[in-house]
Structure formats: structure tokens, C-alpha cells
């Protein structure tokens, strides 16, 4: 399976933006550029997380909360603000919106009801 990309609309208090994101099942969070997080007015939390990059380095990132919409499903998501060349869609957002990646087709598939959180 190659890279899987999907259009994701991220909404904050100051606006929204539709971005082409790479689906990264090795990433926990949505990862966006810090400047974009501020521009959209995402809600900044008092939390930071340490992220382990694909090359093994560690980076600290601030956590924001916003809304994501993927294929007509939307809900709240946690977003790590980190300089990245391509925005990432991580597993927390995928699962909370009710999607999984089909490794045979490279497409997102629904796994739960719209807006329903899986327990």
C-alpha cells in the first residue's frame, strides 16, 4: 500500500481550511503547522506532548483542540502544532470520526456511526 491522502476540513474559532493530509496510522494526533493553528483560532490547551518522529528524533508540540470534517463526518479533534511539510491525519481523529484505512485499497472505510465515538 502506498501513501493515503484525504481532504480534511479543520475548523477553529477564526475560520476553517480544507487541507490535503496524509493518513498516518503511526501518528496519534493531527499534526499541523503552528502558524496555521493560530490563524484558524484553534483552542490552545495548556498541554504539550513529546512526539517521536519517523527518524527517531523527539520533538515537543503544543496541543490544540478544533473540529475536523472528513467525508461528511465531523467532530472534535486534538491537534499537535509542529512544523511539518505535509499535514498528518492521525489515528485519534480517524477512530473518533469512525474511519479505518483498508490496506488493500488504500481508502478510508467507515467503521462506526457518524459522530459516534468507539469505546
**How far is 104 from 2, CA to CA, in rounded Å?**
10
The answer to the question of residue 57 being in a domain is yes
70 CB contacts (<8 Å, ≥6 apart)?
Answer: 6, 7, 8, 9, 89, 93, 97, 99, 108
**Residue whose C-alpha is closest to residue 84's, from 19, 16, 2:** 19
104 CB contacts (<8 Å, ≥6 apart)?
Answer: 1
Which pLDDT value is given to residue 114?
56
CATH number at residue 29: 2.40.70.10
Which pLDDT value is given to residue 104?
86
The answer to the question of residue 116 being in a domain is no
Pairing of strands 15-23, 88-89: parallel
The answer to the question of residue 29 being in a domain is yes
The answer to the question of residue 118 being in a domain is no
Local mean pLDDT, 10-residue blocks, the chain (119 residues): 87 97 93 96 96 89 97 95 94 92 88 58
Number of structural domains (the chain) is 1
The answer to the question of residue 119 being in a domain is no
Which pLDDT value is given to residue 115?
53
Its sign, for the CA torsion 11, 15, 21, 25, is: negative
**Residue whose C-alpha is closest to residue 37's, from 79, 8, 88:** 79
Question: How long a stretch of residues is the chain?
Answer: 119
The answer to the question of residue 48 being in a domain is yes
pTM: 0.88
- The residue range of the domain holding 68 is 5-110
Amino acid at each position: 500500500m502506498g501513501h493515503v491522502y484525504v481532504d480534511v476540513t479543520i475548523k477553529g474559532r477564526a475560520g476553517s481550511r480544507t487541507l490535503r493530509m496524509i493518513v498516518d496510522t503511526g501518528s496519534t494526533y493531527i499534526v499541523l503547522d503552528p502558524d496555521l493553528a493560530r490563524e484558524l483560532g484553534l483552542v490552545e490547551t495548556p498541554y504539550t506532548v513529546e512526539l517521536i518522529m519517523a527518524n527517531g528524533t523527539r520533538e515537543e508540540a503544543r496541543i490544540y483542540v478544533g473540529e475536523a470534517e472528513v467525508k461528511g463526518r465531523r467532530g472534535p479533534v486534538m491537534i499537535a502544532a509542529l512544523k511539518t511539510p505535509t499535514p498528518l491525519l492521525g489515528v485519534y481523529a480517524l477512530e473518533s470520526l469512525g474511519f479505518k484505512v483498508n490496506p488493500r485499497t488504500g481508502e478510508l472505510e467507515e467503521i462506526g456511526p457518524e459522530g459516534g465515538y468507539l469505546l
